[in-house]
Amino acid sequence: MITVWLPEHESEELMGGLPEGVRADVWTGGALPSSQGEVEIVIPPFDVEEGGLAVLSDLPRLKLVQLESVGVDWVLPYLPDGVALCNARGAYDAAVAEWVVATVLTRLRELPRFALAQQEGRWDYAHSDSLEGKTVLVVGYGSIGRTLAGVLKVFGANVIGVASRARDGVRGADELPDLVPQADIVVLLAPATARTRGMVDAEFLKRMHDGAMLVNAGRGALVDTEALTAELNSGRLFAALDVTDPEPLPEGHPLWSAPGLVLTPHVAGSNGTPMAKAMALAKAQFVRYANGEPLVNVIGPDGY
């Protein structure tokens, strides 16, 4: 019998029940279940307190940490040697693509302006912009990026995908200095690694043309917050952020009042459908583990 820890009491229902030969306890980030000495697979909760994952080193039979998230940077510092780490790549593709398109259209179609006019009882007729014909640079061209590209192309946008290394139809990260000035919209979907942290610095932002938009649905650490705030306050650029650095954004932070910014509290993938997909992926992973088959979405030592 394989023992697993689930992050919520609803997790088993979301995955449609446990596979044969697997039993589960629930660990929500507090006191450890009595199966501490037997657990082999842990799905850690999203909201575990900082440092709380250090307990992973106290689990003698732990072999696999399966995430219900795509990002792994919050777990890597606590992953014991010899323990496999797998993420939920594929579970959030549609949800995050929806968020990106929603925030881009919010900006281009001037929805905040019209919402304000509605509140004030003013008929504020004005022309707005369109996604059709725009060049969108998608930095971090994995499964979410590919899904997003398909949606954007329906609107008539020109999509340029960028990955860490060039491949068929996808540009390499070393080409970014030449690609950024061409983009009307830059979408960040890259993970936070040693190579990507702070990649969107003052120089990167200066390469974006006047009126361009930065959209970050990856990780807050990708962006130099001070440099972005300065560009927003100047009125030269626009932005949509679902992730920030720091996060959560503290009271009184300059981003709260920055003009030209759509700001959401890390909710791009937060709806019931992705969570059910993540749990279904975890269930299939349990079966692979039990059968000694290769795991999917395995994370390498550098984070991806």
- How would residue 49 be classed by pLDDT, with cut points 50, 70 and 90? confident
**SS3 (DSSP) at 71:** coil
My answer on whether 152 and 118 are in the same domain is: yes
Q: In terms of Cα–Cα distance, which of 234, 127, 139 is closest to 185?
A: 139
My answer on whether 78 and 193 are in the same domain is: no
- How would residue 244 be classed by pLDDT, with cut points 50, 70 and 90? very high
75, 43 contact by CB (below 8 A): no
Q: Is residue 134 part of a domain?
A: yes
Cis bond before residue 248 (omega within 30° of 0): yes
My answer on whether 106 and 185 are in the same domain is: yes
- How would residue 240 be classed by pLDDT, with cut points 50, 70 and 90? very high
- How would residue 273 be classed by pLDDT, with cut points 50, 70 and 90? confident
pLDDT at residue 271 is higher than 90: no
My answer on whether 220 and 259 are in the same domain is: yes
- How would residue 304 be classed by pLDDT, with cut points 50, 70 and 90? low
Q: Is residue 153 part of a domain?
A: yes
My answer on whether 100 and 122 are in the same domain is: yes
How many helices and strands, by DSSP H and E, does the chain display? 8, 12
Weakest mean pLDDT among 43-52, 77-86, 193-202, 261-270: 43-52
Instruction: Output Rg (C-alpha) for the chain, integer angstroms.
Output: 21
My answer on whether 124 and 36 are in the same domain is: no
Measure Cα distances from 91 to 70, 139, 157, 271 in Å: 8, 19, 25, 11
Looking at residues 229-256, what average pLDDT do you find? 97
Cα 142 to Cα 163: distance, rounded to the nearest angstrom:
8
Looking at residues 282-294, what average pLDDT do you find? 97
pLDDT at residue number 186: 98
Percent of the chain's residues with pLDDT above 90:
92
My answer on whether 194 and 275 are in the same domain is: no
Q: Is residue 297 part of a domain?
A: no
Weakest mean pLDDT among 117-131, 185-199, 248-262, 267-281: 267-281
- How would residue 303 be classed by pLDDT, with cut points 50, 70 and 90? low
Residue 131's domain comprises 93-263
Cα 220 to Cα 289: distance, rounded to the nearest angstrom:
33
Residue type, 72: V
How is residue 16 written in tokens?
Answer: 């449609």
pLDDT at residue 28 is higher than 80: yes
pLDDT in tens, 97-147: 999 999 999 999 999 999 999 999 999 999 999 999 999 999 999 999 999
DSSP 130: -
pLDDT at residue 5 is higher than 80: yes
Percent of the chain's residues with pLDDT above 70:
98
pLDDT at residue number 51: 85
My answer on whether 149 and 223 are in the same domain is: yes
pLDDT at residue number 3: 98
219, 191 contact by CB (below 8 A): yes
Q: Is residue 301 part of a domain?
A: no
Looking at residues 14-29, what average pLDDT do you find? 96
What CATH number does residue 218 fall under? 3.40.50.720
My answer on whether 149 and 129 are in the same domain is: yes
DSSP 96: H
User: How many C-beta neighbours within 10 Å does residue 166 have?
Assistant: 13
pLDDT in tens, 160-195: 999 999 999 999 999 999 999 999 999 999 999 989
pLDDT at residue number 46: 86
Q: In the β-sheet with 22-26, what is the strand arrangement from edge to edge?
A: 22-26, 2-6, 39-42, 64-66, 84-86
As annotated, the active-site residues are 219, 247, 266
Looking at residues 35-39, what average pLDDT do you find? 97
Cα 277 to Cα 178: distance, rounded to the nearest angstrom:
37
pLDDT at residue number 229: 98
Residue type, 244: T
